């Protein structure tokens, strides 16, 4: 690994590396979106190219699809896969029940569909993603462009009756224009600060016309793998109620993935 790699990237890399332990030849694998998931895609690509790993990857975004193809992973659609053995993805927040806030990268709709169509969802993260109570990270809500101001008003009205601390709703932007998802929709970010009842919030928000999907993942994630800058990795599996720690040797002169780097 390059000595230039900052501790946060080392943390993401070792979490991703450990997650590859749960991937075997013949599997159909959901590939998440974001900077942590990109390490996973790179690790799997290396295993495909150098160790003969045979997998089919279902990307959760166009961005991940591009990277997966570039590193040599055989990419198929969810329609072709029908069901997946495992999905491995990053997160913006997770709590002790492994409830997640996702969608910081704007891909939570496809990510939720793919993870739900998997036997198991594994989240990979650095330690900053663990929270006692969800909500410091703004909750992304994907909405269709038609009737956007009405949908936003209905969300704001709904929030006034819910157990949250903040109620600001902002439009996700990319420069001067609205951010557009892979499905051609917009994202509203809900600045809730503290979410008292994620299950209720998720149900109520998703009932508003114009809302496609919110970024709360409830009862979807089975395992969280957390990496640290010193090479330590902790794994917590809530399905089997197990936890363990391993440590990777972080080599300063091993320039990983340089052969497929941009
Ligand atoms: C994308 C996501 C990402 O998994 C989440 O934003 C975490 O990204 P990163 O690994 O870059 O911190 O939900 O929609």
Domain-wise residue ranges, the chain: 2-129+219-247, 139-213
Ligand 1 center to residue 138 CA distance, Å?
Answer: 13
Quick check: 260 pLDDT over 80?
Answer: no
Residue 130's pLDDT is 98
Q: Is 126 helix (H, G, I), strand (E, B) or coil?
A: strand
CA-wise closest residue to 96 among 244, 236, 240, 242: 236
Q: How far is CA 189 from CA 21, 160, 173, 178, 238, in A?
A: 34, 16, 10, 12, 29
For a mutational test of ligand 1's pocket, the pick from 100, 104, 131, i.e. the residue with the most ligand atoms closer than 8 A to its C-beta, is: 104
The topology under which CATH files domain 2-129+219-247 is Rossmann fold (3.40.50)
Tell me the pLDDT band of 4, cut-offs 50, 70 and 90. confident
* CATH of region 139-213: 3.30.70.260
**Token pair for 47:** 């295993």
Quick check: 262 pLDDT over 70?
Answer: no
Q: How do residues 188-219 score in pLDDT, each as one tens digit?
A: 999 999 999 999 999 999 999 999 999 999 99
Q: How do residues 129-155 score in pLDDT, each as one tens digit?
A: 999 999 999 999 999 999 999 999 999
pTM across the whole model: 0.95
Q: Is 104 helix (H, G, I), strand (E, B) or coil?
A: coil
Ligand 1 center to residue 258 CA distance, Å?
Answer: 23
Residue 256's pLDDT is 67
Ligand 1 center to residue 184 CA distance, Å?
Answer: 19
- The torsion angles phi and psi of 166, rounded to 5 degrees, stand at -115, 155
Q: For the purposes of burial, counting CB atoms within 10 Å of the CB of 123, is it exposed (0-12), middle (13-18) or buried (19 or more)? A: buried
Distance separating alpha carbons of residues 238 and 145, to the nearest angstrom: 38
Quick check: 2 pLDDT over 70?
Answer: no
Q: Which of 111, 142, 156, 157 is catalytic?
A: 111
Report the share of the chain in percent with pLDDT over 70: 94
Q: How do residues 34-61 score in pLDDT, each as one tens digit?
A: 999 999 999 999 999 999 999 999 999 9
Task: Indicate if 111 belongs to the active site.
Answer: yes
Q: How do residues 68-99 score in pLDDT, each as one tens digit?
A: 999 999 999 999 999 999 999 999 999 999 99
Establish whether domains 2-129+219-247 and 139-213 are of one fold.
Answer: no
């Amino acid at each position: 690994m390059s000595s230039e790699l900052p501790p946060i990237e080392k943390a993401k890399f070792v979490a991703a590396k450990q997650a590859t332990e749960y991937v075997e030849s013949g599997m159909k694998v959901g590939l998440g979106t974001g900077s942590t998931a990109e390490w996973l895609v790179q690790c799997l690509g290396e295993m495909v190219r150098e160790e003969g790993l045979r997998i089919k990857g279902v990307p959760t975004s166009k961005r991940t699809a591009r990277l997966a193809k570039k590193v040599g992973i055989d990419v198929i659609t969810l329609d072709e896969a029908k069901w997946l053995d495992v999905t491995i993805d990053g997160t913006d927040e997770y709590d002790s029940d492994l409830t997640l806030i996702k969608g910081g990268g704007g891909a939570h709709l496809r990510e939720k569909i793919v993870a739900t169509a998997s036997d198991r969802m594994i989240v990979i993260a650095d330690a900053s993603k663990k929270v006692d109570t969800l909500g410091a990270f703004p909750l992304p809500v994907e909405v269709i462009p038609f009737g956007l101001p009405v949908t936003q008003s209905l969300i704001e009205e709904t929030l006034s009756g819910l157990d949250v601390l903040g109620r600001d709703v902002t439009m996700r932007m990319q420069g001067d224009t609205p951010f557009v998802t892979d499905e051609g929709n917009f994202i509203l970010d809900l600045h809730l600060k503290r979410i008292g009842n994620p299950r209720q919030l998720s149900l109520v928000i998703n009932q508003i016309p114009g809302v496609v999907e919110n970024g709360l993942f409830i009862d979807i994630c089975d395992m969280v793998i957390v990496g640290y800058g010193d090479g330590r990795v902790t794994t917590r599996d809530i399905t089997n109620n197990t936890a363990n720690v391993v440590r990777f040797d972080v080599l300063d002169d091993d320039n990983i993935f340089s052969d497929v780097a941009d």
